Amino acid sequence: MSTGRLIIDLDAVVANWRALDAMTDCKTAAVVKADGYGLGSVNVAKALFKAGVRQFFVAVAEEAVTLRDALGPKPEISVFSGHMNGDTDLIRELGLTPMLNSVEQMTLHFEQLPDHPFGVQLDTGMNRLGMEMQEWAAVAELALSRRPKLVMSHLACADEPDHPMNPYQLSQFKKMTDGISVPRSLAATGGVLLGPEYHFDLTRPGIGLYGGLPFANATPVVALDLPVVQIRDIAEGEVVGYANAWQATRPSRIATVSGGYADGVARILSDRATLYHGDIPCPLVGRVSMDLLTIDVTDLPDAPRKLTLIGPQQNVDDLARDAHTIGYEILTQLGARYNRKTFGK
């Protein structure tokens, strides 16, 4: 097989949810947006539903179509982007809970679906989604009289426990919501780790379910092996890849591996990434191309049939550091060409 093998461990996803849930005394939902952070939202959600999750969050209403079909009517599916123009039919037919982000969205929702469930998202300083304090003050009485399912906000710097933005947003959230009789939510994965005062009535872990930081104790969820297509011996001074970007300083063996930026191996990893054969590191040399990588395997005792990009020696966050990005981006850019092997619940 000439495509990479992406292994997805659903038991690990469930274990991570249970570990995060055990840190709180409130309900724990699950964020499965962006196709379950690139790992398959339907399979992930089915495993989590079996484990007891009854509320899921997606980014946009369209992401809920396959979820509702797979999970049936029981779980609540909430939509971070709220009620956008054109979403009304999906929200009604799929029984979705839009998290209304503005006075305009609230007006639209109450006009189009006056008796339909909804939630409210507040902005506590991130300036991304949600109503600011003055907007909320103007509509809070009306909104609360209609019994929203949830009032939430989102932390901007929860992956940095000592960042002053965390207590500031907590203070703002409490100022905007203390005294209401509606369930509240502030914490995603990072907020769970900040401690009980951030947990309120519901937490919404996302990246931690999939094995990523800031949940440093997460069980790894993915592994990725790339097959070797060809191996060649080159002499000292010969060059490899586009633009002659790498030149051998010794007689070398170069393995050409199936995988490239079309598969989510970012071009910035050129001459930076490391693949592994067991515990032996093998540097990526030259440029990442669309479909192929060139790997220096000179130090291996035998010709490899595959090399590991994500596995025991290197997780998604290790790879992300080499790419000057975050594990979220590595996961969500994993390509469609991989032979995906999903196992577990």
The answer to whether the beta carbons of residues 152 and 118 sit under 8 Å apart is no
Query: If you write DSSP's letter for every residue of 51-96 in order, what string do you get?
Result: HT--EEEESSGGGHHHHHHHH-SSSEEEETT-S-TT-HHHHHHHT-
Single out the residue of 151, 159, 145 nearest to residue 120, CA to CA: 151
Residues with Cβ within 8 Å of 171's Cβ and at least 6 positions away in sequence, in order, are none
Tell me whether residue 242 is one of the annotated catalytic residues.
Answer: yes
Q: What is the sign, positive or negative, of the torsion defined by CA atoms of 87, 89, 90, 92?
A: positive
143: three-class secondary structure by DSSP: helix
Phi/psi of residue 71, each to 5°? -100, -20
Residues with Cβ within 8 Å of 178's Cβ and at least 6 positions away in sequence, in order, are none
Single out the residue of 266, 314, 323, 321 nearest to residue 289, CA to CA: 266
Distance from the Cα of residue 71 to its chain's centroid? 20
Dist CA 208 CA 217 (whole Å): 9
Dist CA 164 CA 170 (whole Å): 10
Which one is catalytic: 27, 242, 341, 345?
A: 242
Which one is catalytic: 33, 37, 198, 210?
A: 33
Structure tokens at 261: 């930026």
Residues marked as catalytic: 33, 242
